[in-house]
Each structure stands twice: as C-alpha cells, then as structure tokens.
Amino acid sequence: MTLLEQDLEFLNNPRKQQELRLRPFADDIYRSVFGPDIDIERFDNDIILDKQFAIDVRLRLRTGNILLGQEKFLSSYNSRFNSLTVEYMQNEHEQGDWFKLSCQFYFTGYESPSGFCPWVIADWLAIELATLKGDINWQDNRNKDGHAQASFKFVDIDSLPDNCIIAKSRFNPV
C-alpha cells in the first residue's frame, strides 16, 4: 500500500472522521479555558511530536507561551463511563501513549449533541505525580469493538484529585 493510499484510508476511518468533526468543539473549550485569543495547531501524523511523544495539539497563549496536549475524542455511547482514558498498548506488542506522553495537558471528551459532555482537561504532570504516589486508581480495559487491538488505562474523571484538573464539565450523560 502506498503512502497516499495509507493517508486516504486513515482519513476515511470513522474514528478520524469523528475527531475532525469534533475539533471545533474542543477548540471552543480551549478558548473558554485558556483565553479567546489562543492559536491552536494540531500535529496529524507528525513523526516526532505525534508518534514519539503523543502530542496532538499545541496551544500558543496570548503570553506567547506554549502548552502541548493530547486529545481523546470518544463516542457518546461510552459517556456513561465518565473516564479519562489513555491507550496503554497499541497492539499486543507496541507500547501506546501511556509510555510516550510528553504533554502538559490531556483532554478527554465524549461526543454529545452540543459537542462534548462530559469532558476534562487534566494537568498531565499532576496526573503522573498522583499516579506515582498511588492517589489515582487506574483500571485496565481491552478494546472490544473488534477493530483495534489496543488496551487502555482509565480512571473516573470525578475520582481525580482536584489538583489534577485544569477544567471539566459537569457529568451529564446523553
């Protein structure tokens, strides 16, 4: 398969289509939290940032400072779980984002008619430190949809320590 064919297959993937559709809603949340005049840039398939460090998005603040983030846009069907979800293994033999994350914030949102609900922007360094101290009780899950062979770590958003939350919505499942 050529690179062009791989790119077209990737762009036609339903999960990628969902992500592209939901980006404007995530951008609105970022602007409401970090300021209306931020610049937002995404790194689709960037060899260094996306593949090696699990960085999906860069926010340039009004001050000129940069925040790097990881995004997880999930389906409304799963909103009842109200969890922050991180890919652990990409397949049975390849480490996932859990081992690569070099971001300052982690966004998880569940699709809803108005964009996302629930959603959370977590302070990733605070998450890492709380995990090391044993203050976060991560659970394990294997993808059961038959397409991907990924496994995940997840934790209920409402169980995260307050210092790990930059901003979040109220839980209101669809």
Residue 155, both tokens: 């934790």
Residue 39 within any structural domain of the chain: no
Residue 99 within any structural domain of the chain: yes
CA atoms of 90 and 78, how far apart (whole Å) = 20
Residue 68 within any structural domain of the chain: no
Residue 159 within any structural domain of the chain: yes
Prediction pTM value: 0.86
Instruction: From first to last of the 174 residues of the chain, give the pLDDT tens digit.
Output: 554 444 555 567 777 888 999 999 999 999 999 999 999 999 877 778 888 899 999 999 999 999 999 999 998 888 888 999 999 998 777 899 999 999 999 999 999 998 999 999 999 999 999 999 999 999 998 765 555 678 899 999 999 999 999 999 975 444
Its domain, for residue 90, covers 24-34+73-168
What is the count of structural domains for the chain? 1
